[in-house]
Chain A
Amino acid sequence: MTGDSAPRLSLTVETALGPFSLQASLEVGAEPLALVGPNGSGKTSLLLTVLGLRKPDRGRIVLSDEVLFDAALAIDRPTEERHLAYLPQDFGLFPHLTAVENVAFALACRSKRASTRQRHDEAVAWLERFGIGRLAERNPSRLSGGERQRVALARALASSPKALLLDEPTASLDVEARVEVRAFLAESIRSLGLPTVLVTHDAMDVEALASRVAVLEKGQVVACGLLADICKAPPTSFASKLFSPSRISGAGAIADPICGGDVRHN
């Protein structure tokens, strides 16, 4: 982590996206931001743009004191140099590597000098930190959804990221695992304090993991603010359906977007 100010991801991008254009301007600090919107509204495209896998026509993406993209200055850092932890929906573990090899892969990408042995030991230490040291030699196909997510998070953090990008982190899980994963993610995100962007379809995810919400509609950010404010005055019919009282655990959560768990952990 460089820079003495708090880490911050700020982006202003504009790019053609099928029938409409994606136009977004977002600031993400220590408070996790949830991107919500109907299918095809450009949520994932925005995430891929930040990752550097999709090049915007215009705009600027800055992470703390580092310019990742600037159309005017012709700066476009490749994905591997952006130091972003990306967790896709199914966590993206490499199926041909064991849990510990998955983590060691990230270590090998960042520190070329360490020996294989050193990397292995460090990778095991990462898994132990996430309470899954005993699963080190397992293949991802033999891990549960919750375990997979822990390995993926350990691997992502082993690459010393400067921001966290999550794409529907609970969508591929069954209901029970979803609760476990959500709680674990919430705790991790808060303790990391990294700028975090979360794409989700799930109001429970938003409530548990994010404190701010950006609502996308046809490529435009139609509203961005505290979860409580978005809930009070949903800007789109999608948002009002997503945050209808029946889908959020209680009115208290709406009034106070920072859940009880957060108070306990700090």
Chain B
Amino acid sequence: MSEEVLSRPGRRRLYHAGMVGLGGLLLLFLVLPFVALVLDGGPEAIWRGLGCPLTWPALRLSLGTTLISVVLVVIGGTPLAWWLARSRWRSARWLEILLQLPVVIPPAVGGIALLLAFGRRGLFGETLERLGWTPAFSVVAVIMAQVFVSAPFYLQAAVQAFGRLDPNLLAVARSLGASPPRLFARVALPLARPWLIGGAAMSWARALGEFGATLMFAGNMTGKTQTLPLAIYTALELDIHTAQALSLLLVVFAFALLLFLRRFNRGVEPSRRPAMP
């Protein structure tokens, strides 16, 4: 019917207007909150917000714990991903799926799971307590929550990176006499490096934004377990401009991260460039 109602150029115009209109609406919706975040209240209010007593302890804690989390994730995740990528077992494929679970479950569920496992009354909590260690509601719990939610991001990138390596290169390296450690350190790691760094960056971003699991498992204690996202939540009850200032801090970190990834990717040959934001 419409073919008769609209001429060909008319249909084309409608198509363009529809595409631009729909896309533009979403774009506007995505951009406007950032505009408000930067402009609302003016620089003075934001500056005053930054001076809030919550800010610096939360900033210090966030940077410190996320740094430790990323290091732990990379140290443990790299060997795990190498094994997963090379394993021919069917169970390895299932494990890969299982390890992606923390990405799709709500962080609050992760927090409850951590609490049930390592909390004082948790499955392993009593054993840990007898050993004199109660991680829940401490800095360690903050790190545990961050590792739990952010590790899958690194793992996924690393498994893909190792899986994409040219099997011929690995075969040649071994035929030349490369032992398994040398194969890993001198061939696999350098070749996978751009993707590993990308994965670690995304994992860091996820750890920095971690809220739900931390709140459940580590609590919200200023100077002890209150990371930046938790401080934003607390500040909201005191003064919106403090929350705004803290949020801007996180935006700055996230933006710096994206710039870093862009710059970093530029150094990699186009054909080997990982698909990154």
Contact = CB atoms under 8 A, between A and B. Distances in A.
Given A92-B172, A109-B177, 7 more contacts: A80-B175, A82-B175, A88-B171, A94-B187, A105-B173, A105-B178, A156-B175
Contacts of B168: 88-90, 92
B190 interface: yes
A109 B171 contact: no
B190 A155 contact: no
Q: At the interface, is chain B mostly helix, strand, loop or mixed?
A: helix
A85 B175 contact: yes
18 contacts: A48-B171, A51-B171, A51-B174, A80-B177, A81-B177, A88-B168, A88-B172, A92-B172, A94-B169, A94-B187, A95-B272, A96-B190, A96-B191, A106-B176, A106-B177, A110-B177, A141-B269, A159-B175
A51 B169 CA distance: 13
B269 A105 contact: no
Which of B172, B176, B177, B182 has the largest count of A CB atoms less than 10 A from its CB? Answer: B176
A111 to B, nearest CB: 10
A109 B186 CA distance: 11
A79 B174 contact: yes
Contact of A156 (B176, B182, B186): B176
Interface string B5-29: 0000000000000000000000000
A84 interface: yes
Interface of B: 166, 168-169, 171-179, 182, 186-187, 190-191, 269, 272
Interface of A: 48, 51, 53, 78-90, 92, 94-96, 105-106, 108-110, 141, 155-156, 159, 161, 165
A80 B182 CA distance: 11
A53 B171 contact: yes
Contact of B176 (A48, A89, A109, A141): A109
B179 A86 contact: no
A108 B169 CA distance: 17
Contacts, number: 67
Contacts of B186: 105
Nearest to B177: A109
A129 B132 CA distance: 66
A231 to B, nearest CB: 31
Given A94-B187, A141-B269, A105 B176 contact: yes
A207 to B, nearest CB: 26
A158 to B, nearest CB: 8
Contacts of B269: 95, 141
A216 B230 CA distance: 67
A110 B182 CA distance: 12
B173 A84 contact: no
Contacts of A79: 171, 174-175
A63 to B, nearest CB: 13
A84 B186 CA distance: 20
A156 B191 CA distance: 20
Nearest to A78: B174
Contacts of A95: 191, 269, 272
Contacts of A86: 171-172, 175
A126 B115 CA distance: 61
A21 to B, nearest CB: 20
Contact of B173 (A87, A90, A94, A141): A94
B45 to A, nearest CB: 50
A150 to B, nearest CB: 15
Contacts of B172: 86-88, 92
A141 B269 CA distance: 10
A110 B175 CA distance: 11
Nearest to B182: A109
Contacts of A82: 175
A159 B174 CA distance: 11
| Nearest 10 CB-CB pairings of A with B | A109-B177, A92-B172, A86-B175, A79-B174, A88-B168, A106-B176, A159-B176, A96-B190, A92-B168, A80-B174
Contact of A84 (B175, B179, B272): B175
Which of A51, A86, A92, A155 has the largest count of B CB atoms less than 10 A from its CB? Answer: A92
A51 B176 contact: no
Nearest to A81: B177
